[in-house]
Chain A
Amino acid sequence: ILNVEQSPQSLHVQEGDSTNFTCSFPSSNFYALHWYRWETAKSPEALFVMTLNGDEKKKGRISATLNTKEGYSYLYIKGSQPEDSATYLCAGSSNTGKLIFGQGTTLQVKP
């Protein structure tokens, strides 16, 4: 069973700051790593799904990297905007499709 941990638990930054947070998971039994963005009063929305060691994905100002050998993924936000305020979830999966979610990192961007 995967155990997925995220840090920090919460983060406050100023508009324009770049920021990053971490997701760690056991490197054995790894199949895929998912990132989701969850705004208050909405449902989680998929950002990235990564499977290969060294994988890097980008969507606008948000990017993510994956290191399966050491068991971590970083999510980066360049030039944070107030609309980036949300909880960012990562989840690890086995090939059965079951996702194990971390507790999330809550980002607040102050104008």
Chain B
Amino acid sequence: NAGVTQTPKFQVLKTGQSMTLQCAQDMNHNSMYWYRQDPGMGLRLIYYSASEGTTDKGEVPNGYNVSRLNKREFSLRLESAAPSQTSVYFCASSEYGDGNQPQHFGDGTRLSIL
């Protein structure tokens, strides 16, 4: 079972370049999430999509955009990458977005911005 699949796994960008991180889930989940994980800090929510067709900001949305392309796919875009966006990015999904459903995580995308 694939679960939550993220691509790419690694990427190096130069400051100012743009990039889209892809996420797809095959569990028929309604809700999807993007987090970033930095040393010494917990996972922080960037954006989430409670259901197909909706997106909302999380704790740290600045510098990012998202698209819920369909029920399976939720992409994260960096329009003009900055060194402060060097991080490990995790996509997650849950059956519903009501807060009492466990989230299922992808393997992460390690992004370095020079």
Contact = CB atoms under 8 A, between A and B. Distances in A.
User: Is the A/B pair a real complex?
Assistant: yes
Interface string B94-114: 101111111111111000000
Contacts of A104: 42
A97 B106 contact: no
Interface residues of B, number: 30
Interface size for chain A: under 10, 10 to 19, 20 to 34, or 35 or more residues? 20 to 34
Contacts of B104: 46
Interface stretch (A13-21, A64-72, A88-96): A88-96
Contacts of A25: none
Contacts of B106: 43
Contacts of B102: 34, 46, 49
B42 A98 contact: no
Nearest to A90: B42
Interface of B: 4, 31, 33, 35, 40-45, 48, 50, 56, 58-59, 90, 94, 96-108
26 contacts: A1-B59, A4-B42, A31-B99, A31-B100, A32-B100, A34-B102, A43-B90, A43-B107, A44-B103, A46-B104, A49-B102, A89-B42, A91-B42, A91-B43, A96-B97, A97-B48, A97-B99, A97-B101, A98-B45, A98-B48, A98-B99, A100-B59, A101-B35, A101-B42, A103-B40, A103-B42
